[in-house]
Structure 1
Amino acid sequence: MMEKTKVFTLVFKTLFFLLIALFFSWGIWNGYFSMIFTESERFLLLLQQHLLLVVTSSLMAVAVAIPLGIFVTRPRFAKSEWFVLNTANLGQTIPVIAILAIVMTYLGIGFNTAVFALFVFSLLPILRNTVAGLNSVDPAMKDAAKGMGLTPMQTLWRIEMPNAMFTIMAGVRTAIVMNIGTAALASLVGGGGLGDLIFAGINLRDNAYLFSGAVPVTLLALTVDGLLRLSERIFIPKGLQEAAKSA
């Protein structure tokens, strides 16, 4: 059964990459990616802006969501979990365009507005997975750590965080991949990024601009997702990965 699953996965991946190759061949043949080559300096500048938007907002979200998730899962502050998670849920339900409009009122247009909106939109997946991962740690393991004389802080970093890391990383990966696609909307508030090409293509009805912006965003999201999945396999012990999957 396991061998059949591996063969099916290999066939699926092969077909997937074949379809991507055919799509690129078709696009190049029809000149849909010409802008990448004819205006390469502008394309690279917009790509750099897009990456900066994603990296900055994602780091901010990680820096806030993980400590906040740790905070609400401590027994002393467990009653605040409901309020914090539902507040984060509220931020997720508001459309990004609406968040951009609200933030633009106070911060004006530009990079800062786009980063803050993306930061708000990225909080929930990381926070939710951090809370879920920490709450899923077997209480017996924590009791055993306490019996061995570990302090609550030592138990957190030696027992809880390693066992919750697979779930936390899944949330981080989800947030970053979502961020890459959503960052295209930064163009609406002068934040730059590959969204400039997408909206230029829509306004001009020019597929060369549209494809030159949309396809790199898609490929960037797939590449980052793959790299983050690989990092999970490298840095998280295999036993913890299997335990998290079977939980």
Structure 2
Amino acid sequence: MTADTLTLGGRAEAPTRTTSGLRQVVTPVAIVAALVALYAWVSTLELDSIEQRSLNREVIVAKAIEHIQMTVAATVLVVVIAIPLGIVASRSKNRFITPIILTGGNLGQAVPAIGLLVLATFIMGVGFQTALLGLVAYAILPVLRNTMVGVQQIDPTLIEAARGMGMTKGQVLRRVELKLAVPTILAGLRTALVLTVGMATLGAFVAAGGFGELIINGLKLNRMPVTIVGGVLTACLAFFIDWLGALAESLLKPKGI
């Protein structure tokens, strides 16, 4: 009976591992193929002077750097803010504070992002900081909620066993609770990253740069190649970030989970 169970368990696990490994290979290949196809398509076009000013190496690299800077800075702030708040909200003794924390996290996605950016310009003006505020507000909820869920779903007997070994509350949090909650937290962070890449295109409305400038300029000037290039580059960056997130999940996942 035991041998059969192990065999069946092995068969059940194999497709999952195979599928996961296949995705890790297919995604970057698909991204490269899309970028090559985009380059080949643009190379066949006769670009006018306006399109040439937008679709050259220097401009595209600059916009890519701006977009990545917004994404990385917003993600770092989300981690610094959302994980501690998620830990606080996960504690039963803080049940009166939890609804307030969750309401604050929900507001970021309840308020339209473009509306939030417009309101922020009246306080902070335009620029990188204004875009950062909107991105953090929009992306904080997945990490906040997943941190709560990840900590709350840990078996209480594991916590009791750790306390029985002489660990302090802080040690239990660092060595047991957060370590076991890593897969759930990383899943929320992965979602937040992809959301941030997409929402960073709105940074162009507050003069923060990024691929959004290509999209908006293409639409305003009726230059579809510029719009398409901006959209495809944004999508490829989002898929690449999602691929990196999946890779991080598999590498940072604690052994035995």
**2:141 matched residue in structure 1:** 124
1:53 aligns with 2:70: yes
State the aligned residue count. 240
- SS at 2:256's partner residue? helix
- TM-score, normalising length from structure 2? 0.83
Distance 2:44 2:153 in 1: 48
1:141 aligns with 2:144: no
Query: Contact 1:173–1:225 at 8 Å: present in 2 too?
Result: yes
Question: Is the alpha carbon distance of 1:138 and 1:107 closer, same or farther for their aligned partners in structure 2, counting shifts above 3 Å?
Answer: same
Q: 2:103 is matched by which residue type in structure 1? A: N
Query: Contact 2:182–2:254 at 8 Å: present in 1 too?
Result: no
Question: How far is 1:170 from its partner?
Answer: 0.6
Offset from partner CA, 1:79-117 (integer Å, 9 cap, x none): 311221122112211110011011111001111110111
Query: Contact 1:32–1:209 at 8 Å: present in 2 too?
Result: no
Q: 1:153 is matched by which residue type in structure 2? A: G
Of residues 100, 104, 124 in structure 2, which corresponds to 1:87?
A: 104
**2:216 matched residue in structure 1:** 199
**1:153 matched residue in structure 2:** 170
Distance 1:113 1:238 in 2: 41
**1:209 matched residue in structure 2:** 226
Of residues 171, 178, 192 in structure 1, which corresponds to 2:195?
A: 178
Query: Contact 1:71–1:77 at 8 Å: present in 2 too?
Result: yes
Task: Tell which structure's C-alpha radius of gyration is larger.
Answer: 2
RMSD: 2.9
Question: Is the alpha carbon distance of 1:85 and 1:234 closer, same or farther for their aligned partners in structure 2, counting shifts above 3 Å?
Answer: same
Of residues 27, 40, 58 in structure 2, which corresponds to 1:28?
A: 40
- TM-score, normalising length from structure 1? 0.86
Q: 1:165 is matched by which residue type in structure 2? A: V
Distance 1:127 1:80 in 2: 14
Distance 2:61 2:146 in 1: 34
Unpaired segments of 5 or more residues in structure 1? 241-247
Unpaired segments of 5 or more residues in structure 2? 1-10
Query: Contact 1:198–1:211 at 8 Å: present in 2 too?
Result: yes
Distance 1:73 1:22 in 2: 42
Distance 1:60 1:21 in 2: 33
Q: 2:145 is matched by which residue type in structure 1? A: R
Question: Is the alpha carbon distance of 1:32 and 1:169 closer, same or farther for their aligned partners in structure 2, counting shifts above 3 Å?
Answer: farther
**2:250 matched residue in structure 1:** 233
Q: 2:118 is matched by which residue type in structure 1? A: A
Distance 1:119 1:174 in 2: 13
